[in-house]
Structure 1
């Protein structure tokens, strides 16, 4: 049986669900703030997050941004929260809990 390669898989730092990067938002730390990297071109270490306020809250509560981005101290998430609120209203489709989860298959 041949395995089908689906591409890279990323993990949301809020809910810890693994999914395709196209379903997630890349974020980076810039001058003590977490900012959305919409075009996925900003330099530095990135983390991935669903377009969901609940995932954002979970990541904040768990202090996941500092760990994932390897930054000391607290980070300001105000601009990220604003972006997620705007984009969350525009994203259509199934609620995140009902999406099909995809597993990464070892091609060897």
Structure 2
């Protein structure tokens, strides 16, 4: 039984599962919800996703066109919300940081 626990622990450690932290800039992943205006269709949604995934450290993007929100999960050591807003604006969408 002890051997099985050791093997499972080793698999978890070597699988590269990152720790999750809630504060930006710390080791691990965090998330932010950005307000994004100008999304009208699924093509816009894909453009938003593409613009954000170009940034290093972005792991997940969820777009809600009805609420004009984009939730982004990212590594706080590699990306910042300001970089995300700039990438979205460069792609032609109005965006702003959360309050």
TM-score normalized by structure 2? Answer: 0.26
Which protein has the bigger strand share?
A: 2
Larger Rg: 2
